[in-house]
């Protein structure tokens, strides 16, 4: 029996590898939750764009990575917080700013997937999926 898979961690690793190799885009197998994570990252300015591509009945999520004027990546780190073996939940007051407010935490809440900032504003807590800075 293989190790349990974590599709979100796989997505973050694909992004990390693409950023290290200075690629313009990263392709990951698509799912609703990954699409929502990409949406939040784009809204917060960490991704240039993203789109769903369907080829031969297989859906792929294409993430267009964002770089600054000197080709430095906008994303300097990605970390999975809540893992399949250890879920991490935070109440509204427990959602801390990432990297002194420069980063972003992505949560799944009863109102859907959103950034930590939005969750605090709306007064909801949830499961902390990952952090981006």
Please check the confidence at residue 3 and state whether its pLDDT lies above 70.
Answer: no
Mean pLDDT of 34-55: 97
Q: What is the pLDDT of residue 51?
A: 97
**Would you say residue 28 has pLDDT above 80?**
yes
Domain assignments of the chain as residue spans, ordered by start = 7-132
Percent of the chain whose predicted confidence (pLDDT) is above 70: 97
Hey, what long-range contacts does 57-62 have (CB within 8 A, 24 or more apart)?
A: 58/29, 59/29, 59/30, 60/27, 60/28, 60/29, 60/30, 61/11, 61/27, 61/28, 61/29, 61/30, 61/31, 61/34, 61/35, 62/25, 62/26, 62/27
Threshold 0.75, pTM exceeds: yes
**pLDDT band at residue 100 under the 50/70/90 scheme:** very high
Q: 2 pLDDT exceeds 60?
A: no
Residues 80-94 pLDDT 10s: 999 999 999 999 999
Joined tokens for residue 64:
């267009």
Residue 98: DSSP 8-state: S
What CATH architecture applies to the domain 7-132?
Answer: 2-Layer Sandwich (3.30)
């Amino acid at each position: 029996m293989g190790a349990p898979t974590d599709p979100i961690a796989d997505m973050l690793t694909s992004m990390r590898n693409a950023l290290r190799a200075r690629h313009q885009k990263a392709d990951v197998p698509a799912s609703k939750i990954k699409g929502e994570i990409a949406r939040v990252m784009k809204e917060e300015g960490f991704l240039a764009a993203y789109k769903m591509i369907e080829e031969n009945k297989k859906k792929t999520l294409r993430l267009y990575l964002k770089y600054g004027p000197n080709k430095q990546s906008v994303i300097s780190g990605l970390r999975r917080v809540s893992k399949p073996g250890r879920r991490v939940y935070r109440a509204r007051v427990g959602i801390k700013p990432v990297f002194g407010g420069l980063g972003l935490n992505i949560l799944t809440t009863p109102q859907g997937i959103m950034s930590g900032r939005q969750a605090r504003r709306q007064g909801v807590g949830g499961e902390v999926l990952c952090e981006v800075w």
